[in-house]
Structure 1
């Protein structure tokens, strides 16, 4: 019976091996760190963010994703020894006048952490990364950063939640939680200023085997490649429009993309929406309070065949900037 549990786990993992292994996000623009470690420590101060996504409402055991991220610029040694961490990083322009006064950050180091929990049915994946980025000044108004994230994945299988022909089998009942620990490595690059950003990143650089038992090792993780870009247009002094795009490549799946647009008032209140290829349309709304607290919500309307059984997906994000 133990081999049967492992065999079922393998089938589940082989299914994910030919699909998106990392979770979807409709609000990654609000927290790019879930895609790219190079954004670590972009902003002045200590940046703490939380997110929760419940996908495909109405489907039993549908994916649920939560995350916590933290980052901050740091100063140590050399020319940076005379600066405080609060002197480093950039501040988002609130209006067009602020944009003209915007200046890029001095070159600096930054550190952070990212924790993600992604559960779908009997499978639960937890990822913890420590992140580092170095931000290089490019002229007076832009920066180029490179970053890495290194950590551990825990892929767990809840064997007790699996359904067998003999539900009272004592071997099955005692199987419990089966865990697999693997290393995780991500890397990225990010070029940004007051009005635009463009970034590229790679997740799951290490192609770990997806197996709970040494006898079954044909499944594996595959690298995920992301390319993101956006540009902010100002309409008068207080209103702005920011279209953006994300391109995603996960072999052997076809290339995918997200299209987004954000309409904001003084960067304090915004509404927006987007389209994820072959998956969903989504809309979002959010607000900032004194550039310290930010709250946003997104709703996905499913366009795939799952729409007949799902009422959509919900996602909420919270930001605290100290």
Structure 2
């Protein structure tokens, strides 16, 4: 019985210190493939570039908006590289993400391929809660 109380206490203790974040909202995954999946980088035969913008609730001030730039290209026989930049703003909170992608594709025979990818980058937060003070 003591184990059950201990497990419940640990579970509730973990909830008290929980944190979360708001990820950019994408409605058009087919146009954001390398932003979501780094193994997609270099999957086309030539340079592929995309630019998207999404604004939710257009007539409401400080409504969520997301801008995305992405590009990827094959650079070797089985290697692809990609770059993406995402600017996401919800109210006073602005998040900018910059990522680089590396992919390696294994040809399994015929039309079958297995692509592996890794994504590395940086995230910059700007929480502008106090920018209007004193104006």
The interval holding the TM-score normalised by the smaller chain is 0.7 to 0.9
Alignment correspondent of 1:160: 131
Alignment correspondent of 2:70: 69
Unaligned runs of 5+ in 2: 1-16
Alignment correspondent of 1:141: 111
Please list the CA deviations of residues 111-135 of structure 1 after superposition, one character each: whole Å capped at 9, or x if unmatched: 1101000011111000001110001
Q: CA RMSD in A?
A: 2.1
Q: Output the CA distance in 2 between the equivalents of 1:33 and 1:151.
A: 13
Q: TM-score, normalised by structure 1?
A: 0.35
Taking the TM superposition and a 5 Å limit, the aligned residue runs for 1:8-87 are: 17=20, 21-75=22-76, 80=77
Q: Output the CA distance in 2 between the equivalents of 1:137 and 1:147.
A: 15
Taking the TM superposition and a 5 Å limit, the aligned residue runs for 1:81-96 are: none
Alignment correspondent of 1:109: 79
Q: Output the CA distance in 1 between the equivalents of 2:58 and 2:117.
A: 35
Q: Output the CA distance in 2 between the equivalents of 1:58 and 1:143.
A: 46
Q: Output the CA distance in 1 between the equivalents of 2:100 and 2:94.
A: 20
Count of residues paired in the alignment: 118
1:58 Cα offset (Å): 2.8
Q: Output the CA distance in 2 between the equivalents of 1:142 and 1:24.
A: 31
1:67 Cα offset (Å): 0.8
Alignment correspondent of 2:95: 125
Taking the TM superposition and a 5 Å limit, the aligned residue runs for 1:236-275 are: none
1:32 Cα offset (Å): 1.1
Q: Output the CA distance in 1 between the equivalents of 2:53 and 2:23.
A: 15
1:49 Cα offset (Å): 0.7
Q: TM-score, normalised by structure 2?
A: 0.79
